[in-house]
Homo-oligomer: A and B are copies of this chain.
């Protein structure tokens, strides 16, 4: 029976949900995968804790703070591998920082698989990805990042499957931010855009600084990840991105309060665009696109007919359309649902973990 050792880096909201999901499913996994799955390492930004016999579901939080030693992710990788040399080792990076991605290649050199919701790797420097791929090719490590786009929705796996079965991807488009989905599903020509942003902020749908959502950076990262999965070696600097933050309010010297206070001054701009769209029976939506025909990517406000799937969204749902040779533009393959939230994001990560175990080479 295969022994699987898992390390979770960053047990924040998503990481903790994942840890709980793994503990709850351990017995079932044993049966489904004929494997012994153990969570053996945990690390936060300060400390890490390793227990080769498996960390206890009852005391994992306390163990990390009380038994933890100063964090060193290289040591974590070494312990993980050396403790399970003939089994399957997986690092799960639940952080949103650069520190862990910088070490993925080291993990791969040790034959450790990497699973992550961290967009900084997939949308980061191509050199780092290439180095990882080379090491992974050598050692048999795998990388999965389902939760980087659409959280638990089957987006990356669907795209991979289309490509692997020989379909030709023409376009991938999506409403890829729950925040911006909510804002434009709620916004209409009668309302003030700034009021909708305020209400989204009050509901906790935005980052503490809503400009992080409105700038389009988060959506841009997802677009880069989708593009690269389609074989388009682009990066953030090559994207055509329309920021929804007025230029005059974009500076970090402008406080969040000041931004929220001044945003109404720009309501008229947005209202004009919505009115133009409405006069054509359309609505405006914030859409990320990968266009494989023209080999370009964009993140922008577009006007779509009311019958378009993008126009029919509600709440904070994400929606991704795949237009391919087999799924032509009038009838794309569509995936829709909540694309954020701790439980669904953790589930996306978990499905990757299961896939890694299932496809691990050394049973």
A254 to chain B, nearest CB (A): 34
What is the CA–CA distance of A359 and B152 in the complex, to the nearest angstrom? 22
Partner of A21, one of B25, B166, B331, B344: B166
Using Cβ atoms and an 8 Å threshold, which residues of chain B touch A347? Answer: 162, 165-167, 326
Copies of the chain in the assembly = 2
Q: Does A68 contact B (CB under 8 A)?
A: no
A258 to chain B, nearest CB (A): 34
The answer to whether A354 and B164 touch across the interface, beta carbons within 8 angstroms, is yes
A330 to chain B, nearest CB (A): 7
Q: Does A158 contact B (CB under 8 A)?
A: yes
The answer to whether B164 and A32 touch across the interface, beta carbons within 8 angstroms, is yes
Q: How many residues of A contact B (CB 8 A)?
A: 46
What is the CA–CA distance of A354 and B166 in the complex, to the nearest angstrom? 12
What is the CA–CA distance of A362 and B333 in the complex, to the nearest angstrom? 34
Chain A 314-342 interface 0/1 with B at a Cβ cutoff of 8 Å (1 = within): 11110000000011001111111110000
**9 shortest A-B CB distances, which residue pairs?**
A333-B337, A334-B336, A165-B350, A25-B166, A161-B351, A165-B347, A326-B343, A358-B359, A331-B338
Which residues of A are at the interface with B, using a C-beta cutoff of 8 A?
Answer: 21, 24-25, 28-29, 32, 152-154, 157-158, 161-162, 164-167, 307, 309, 312, 314-317, 326-327, 330-338, 343-344, 347, 350-351, 354, 358-359, 361-363
